[in-house]
Amino acid sequence: MSETRTSTGQAFRATLKRDLLIAYKRKNDVVNPFMFFLIVATLFPIGITPEPERLGEIAAGVLWIAALLASLLAMDSLYRADYEDGSLEQLLLSSHPLYFMVLAKNIAHWLVSGLPVVLVSPLIAYMLNLPPESYLILFVTLLLGTPILSLLGSIGVALTVGLGSRGLILAVITLPMSVPILIAGTLTVQQTLNGASLLGYLAIMGAMLLAAISLAPLASAAALRISVN
């Protein structure tokens, strides 16, 4: 009867579909980080200055930090429910490589928590008076950068999912790992204002994304095995 066994691709799709379905049924988990992103970004003009020139200078950094914090807030829901109800054990015991199962969960998670932030970023950029020539590049850097944040965050969540009180430990693990992406993202956006060639900067971000896709799920998978043990 082994001819009815699923291929890894089918198991990957089933996991992706399941996680998207869960996100659709638990809209809070999707909407809260998104609202958090909008609110954090709006606090800066109130707290610092409403002057358009000065806002424009910090806009890229504000957007990136808000996206980073929103991603962190959304991370906790990635494996928690699965750990508590035993679905994670089923995932670990499937005959398919855990790498692909973790990748499917990460992709589903980014689609519902990262992508909305990327899509709304030009609107926030307009509010923060980012120079119009930077809109496109900001959008592209966030599109390349937020998946990296999700993939790195997944490692932290996988390590801490078995702990009773997670709280700040997740931020302490994840935020330092995110600093290189923050630097690359904001630097790329600032270079548009200096008129420098951007291909090199974008290539670095692309390389970071590829490295994260190929390595981070391996680390997450190993961390999940430790957490369940």
Partner 1 sequence: MASSVASTNNDPNSVPTIPALLDARDLFCERDDRILFQALNFSVTEGQVLQVKGSNGSGKTTLLRILCGLNDAYRGTIRWYGRAIESQAEEFYAALLYMGHRVGVNKVLSPLENLRWTCSLQQQVDTDELMVALAEVGLRGFEESQCYTLSAGQQQRVSLARLLISNAKLWILDEPFTTLDSLGVKQLEALLRGHADEGGAVIVTTHHQLKVADLRELTLG
Q: Rule CB under 8 A: say whether 163 interacts with partner 1.
A: no
- Cα–Cα distance, 121 to 134 (Å, whole number): 12
- Cα–Cα distance, 89 to 123 (Å, whole number): 42
Q: Which of 42, 56, 61, 87 binds partner 1 (CB under 8 A)?
A: 87
CB of 107 to partner 1, least distance (A): 16
CB of 70 to partner 1, least distance (A): 22
- Cα–Cα distance, 15 to 206 (Å, whole number): 26
Nearest to 121 by CA among 71, 66, 77: 66
CB of 90 to partner 1, least distance (A): 5
Kindly tell me which of 14 and 193 has the beta carbon lying closer to partner 1.
14
Q: Which of 9, 86, 176, 206 binds partner 1 (CB under 8 A)?
A: 86
Q: Answer whether 112's CB lies under 8 Å from 145's CB.
A: no
Q: Rule CB under 8 A: say whether 1 interacts with partner 1.
A: yes
- Cα–Cα distance, 51 to 118 (Å, whole number): 25
- Cα–Cα distance, 89 to 93 (Å, whole number): 6
- Cα–Cα distance, 119 to 175 (Å, whole number): 23
Binding mask 4-33 for partner 1 (x = CB under 8 A): xxx---xx--xx--x--xx--xx-------
Q: Which of 9, 50, 84, 179 binds partner 1 (CB under 8 A)?
A: 84
- Where along the sequence are the contacts to partner 1 (CB under 8 A)? 1-2, 4-6, 10-11, 14-15, 18, 21-22, 25-26, 81-82, 84-87, 89-96, 228-229
